[in-house]
Amino acid sequence: MRYTVDPNALNAGADHIARALEHLGSLRLEEDLGPLRFAFAGGVTVGGLKAITNQWDIQLSGARGQLRILGSALVQAADGYGGLESLTAQQLRAVGPQADE
Amino acid sequence: MSELSVADIRCFRPALVREARDRVELERKRIGDAMAELLAGRPRASGWAGPAALAAVARNADAIRALGEIANRLGVTAQLLTHLAERMQACLQLVRHADVRAAEASGWLNHEGQLFLPQPPAYLDPVLVAHHARREALLREEIDRDLRQAQDLARQADHEASTRLRAAAQGSTAMPAMSPGALPVPVPPPLRQGSYVDPASAFANAAWWRALTPEEKGRVIRERPDWVGPRDGLPGWARHAANVTLLGRLEAAAATELAQVEDHHYGSQTAKRADREWKVQRVESLRVVRDVLFQHDGAQRQLLHVDDSGPIVQAVVAVGDVDTAEHVATHVGGFTTTVRGSLRRIDRESTQMRAEADALTEGAVAVVSWLGYPAPQWAGLTTRGASVLGEDLSRGYADELAAFLNGVDAARDAPVHSTLWAHSYGSNLAGHALLQTVSVDDVVLFGSPGVPFRTVEQVGLKPNGLNVLAAPDDWIPKTGPLVLGMPPLAVPGARRLATLHVKGMPNDLRSAEGHSEYRAAGTLSRRNLVAVAAGRPDLVIPASAAERRPTGGVQGPAAVAATADVAAPVTRPATR
């Protein structure tokens, strides 16, 4: 198996995802649609508004969840690759001089 | 489905819905920003390559796609809210229109839409009582239709918005395939109930039209001209645009059908001849409509109706602008009137009379040539239901005339002074129309064979609102009542206007002779028709004592000239 890894790039990707999540975190559709209750009182639209905003919550939560998983994976990968690299380097640095001796 | 009351509509706040729309749009932008972050942070081959990197790229793309879909559905939601706000605004406008109409009559609507009108003045004249009652009935109809349309519209918008907002929130599988962000154009009220046209339907149609957005109006004219062209209560400009489209379609279909006559198998040569004759007439009639409409005489015309589905082609053509003219006169023709044989002449006279009326008043005048019924013909003389000797046709099409007259008024914001000119058999039809709740201010019946009412109170016209022209040598007003009801001159309260020129009358005018000269240039009768239409009662010339005097037997200018106050006949203009 052949692969190239730049853990910094992975961390940068995770940062982008974190900022994307920040944008999504500020969404407040229940508040946004709230004025309909007063603007259009009496109809079935207002009666069903709670269900509509719940649906949006579900959709947005799903999207956020996906992003969190991806972000975590990138961080873990960066950490993993970085950790493996430094561990390996550390081990090799420790092993090398002994071999020479 | 829940009902939204007038009180609910009064509490509509479309501005808040627009605010919600703006906030949703802001959220969409935030999702756009999130997507931009994800796109910028996509794993790149230079930084990370391999199976895990490929999986990460795929997950990133999935997330971008999911957010794109959410952003798209938020866009649909924002669009829906825009449309919902427009519908709410339209509902409020309809209720406000009803408020204004009530206020114009010194009345008011309460919060729930109940109409309160002041006690009518204690008229001593029963004609005034009846006139007031007719006006009030018209007002109630108009307000009722406005409010009903507002409620229907609100209910439809509510239902559609609820369904589509839910679909947008749930995901694309539940979304309507076409225009998911647009509320569908409300379906107009039915044009007729069976064969009957409710004269008050013009108010419902007007309310439907008022409720559409400008974009929807344009779309409906383009895509559903059949909804617009024949619909009383819609503005003349819209009907004209739609009817010109419909005329083109009818012409194409009529030409095709005529060309196919030879290919058809007929049971007999007689049947083939009859079918070909009808199809030739239809093609020619439609050509007349086009020729009249697009003649280059500088006059504005509006095609307010065209229909070839009946026994003869029907058309309604206005000279002038019925939407803005202060005075609108509607002419109804009589026996043997057809589009093919009469429209050119009627339109020419109407154009001239409009110009003459324009000269008498500061406000603009429009004249409508209403050939909107299959007038009786010689061929149908002995045919039950189509004969000039019976009232079947009059009764059958009076509702259409009443709906048209109501429609001219209902389509406008400013009230119109509406005059009905009705000739010969057309006056019998007009009489039946007047028995319905109809918006008309002045009526002139000429050469009338009879009307179906016995008093002015029955039709609710104002005093001096019913005018009659009957040339002394026109035998139709004398013989017609044998089969067609009451002679209009015998209706108490009817005012007889001059057709016979006598000494003291303007010398530039002459007598009208016989049954077919009432609208002829230079006649007293035409001057009277024009003065009534222009809202100039001061210029109306009443019939002289000589004209009113029964002289027995054949009465013509020559016979009446024997009386002392008759002037020498004025020479008939050579132009006629």
Q: Which CATH class is domain B285-496+511-537?
A: alpha beta
Residues B316 and B307: their CA atoms lie apart, in Å, by: 9
| Predicted confidence (pLDDT) at residue B564 exceeds the cutoff of 70 | no
- As separate numbers, helices (DSSP H) first and strands (DSSP E) second, chain A gives 5, 1
Confidence of residue B501 (pLDDT cuts 50, 70, 90): very high
A52 part of contact set with chain B, CB < 8 Å: yes
Of B40, B47, B162, the CB nearest to A16: B40
Mean pLDDT of B552-561: 42
How many Å is the Cα radius of gyration of chain B?
A: 30
State whether A3 and B51 contact (CB < 8 Å). Answer: yes
Mean pLDDT of B311-340: 95
> Coil, helix or strand for B379?
helix
The per-residue pLDDT for range A43-86, each reduced to its tens digit, is 899 999 999 999 999 989 999 999 999 999 999 988 998 888 88
Residue B479: its pLDDT value, please? Answer: 84
How many Å lie between the alpha carbon of A59 and the closest alpha carbon of chain B?
8
Chain B residues touching A77 at Cβ < 8 A: 48, 52, 56
Residues B474 and B83: their CA atoms lie apart, in Å, by: 60
A15 part of contact set with chain B, CB < 8 Å: yes
Q: What is the DSSP letter of B468?
A: E
Of B11, B41, B44, the CB nearest to A17: B41
Residue A97: its pLDDT value, please? Answer: 59
Residue B554: its pLDDT value, please? Answer: 42
Helix %, strand %, coil % for chain B, to 5? 50, 10, 40
Chain B residues touching A41 at Cβ < 8 A: 8, 11
C-alpha closest to that of B407 among B235, B562, B285, B153: B235
Q: Are A9 and A70 in contact (CB under 8 A)?
A: no
Chain B residues touching A34 at Cβ < 8 A: 20
Hey, where are the domains in chain B?
A: 6-176, 285-496+511-537
Q: Are B2 and B49 in contact (CB under 8 A)?
A: no
| Predicted confidence (pLDDT) at residue B558 exceeds the cutoff of 50 | no
> Coil, helix or strand for B157?
helix
Residue B376: its pLDDT value, please? Answer: 87
Residue A65: its pLDDT value, please? Answer: 93
Residue B385: its pLDDT value, please? Answer: 77
**Average pLDDT over all residues of chain B:** 89
State whether B169 and A32 contact (CB < 8 Å). Answer: no
Mean pLDDT of B260-282: 87
How many Å lie between the alpha carbon of B75 and the closest alpha carbon of chain A?
13
> Coil, helix or strand for B414?
coil
B173 part of contact set with chain A, CB < 8 Å: no
**Alpha-helical segments (H) within B423-515:** 425-434, 456-459, 476-479
Q: Of all residues in chain B, what percent carry a pLDDT higher than 90? A: 67
Confidence of residue B349 (pLDDT cuts 50, 70, 90): very high
State whether B44 and A9 contact (CB < 8 Å). Answer: yes
Give the A window 82-101 contacts with B, CB below 8 Å.
none
Residues B407 and B396: their CA atoms lie apart, in Å, by: 18
**Chains A, B: CB pairs < 8 Å:** 172
Residue B518: its pLDDT value, please? Answer: 97
Burial letters for B480-509: b for 16+ Cβ neighbours within 10 Å, e otherwise?
bbeebbbbbbebebbbbbbbbbbeebeeeb
Residue B178: its pLDDT value, please? Answer: 57
| Predicted confidence (pLDDT) at residue B170 exceeds the cutoff of 90 | no
State whether A3 and B31 contact (CB < 8 Å). Answer: no
**Average pLDDT over all residues of chain A:** 87
Residue A95: its pLDDT value, please? Answer: 74
Helix %, strand %, coil % for chain A, to 5? 85, 0, 15
ipTM score of complex: 0.89
Residue whose tokens read 């519908």? B87
Of B12, B44, B67, the CB nearest to A40: B12
> Coil, helix or strand for B163?
helix
Residue A96: its pLDDT value, please? Answer: 63
Predicted TM-score (pTM) of this structure = 0.82
Residue A3: its pLDDT value, please? Answer: 76
A25 part of contact set with chain B, CB < 8 Å: no
- Kindly report the length of chain B: 576
The per-residue pLDDT for range B446-463, each reduced to its tens digit, is 999 999 999 999 999 999
Give the B window 1-60 contacts with A, CB below 8 Å.
1-2, 4-5, 8, 11-17, 19-20, 23-24, 26-27, 30-31, 33-35, 37-38, 40-53, 56, 59-60
Residues 6+ apart with CB under 8 A from B499: B446, B469, B470, B471, B472, B511, B512, B518, B523, B524, B525, B528, B543, B547
Residue B331: its pLDDT value, please? Answer: 98
CA-angle at B342, arms to B336 and B347, nearest 5°: 140
Chain A residues touching B154 at Cβ < 8 A: 43
More confident: A97 or B194:
B194
Residue A48: its pLDDT value, please? Answer: 92
Burial letters for B6-32: b for 16+ Cβ neighbours within 10 Å, e otherwise?
bebbbebbbebbbbbbebbbebbebbe
Residue A101: its pLDDT value, please? Answer: 47
More confident: B192 or B342:
B342
Mean pLDDT of B215-242: 96
For the CA atoms of B444, B446, B450, B454, the dihedral, rounded to the nearest 10 degrees, stands at 30
Of A26, A52, A66, the CB nearest to B66: A66
Residues B338 and B334: their CA atoms lie apart, in Å, by: 9
C-alpha closest to that of B390 among B487, B486, B484, B485: B484
Phi first, then psi, for residue B420 (nearest 5°) are: -110, 120
Cβ count within 10 A of residue B117: 13
Strand partners, B314: B307
Mean pLDDT of B166-174: 76
Instruction: Give the CA count within 13 Å in the CB-facing half-sphere of B35.
Output: 17
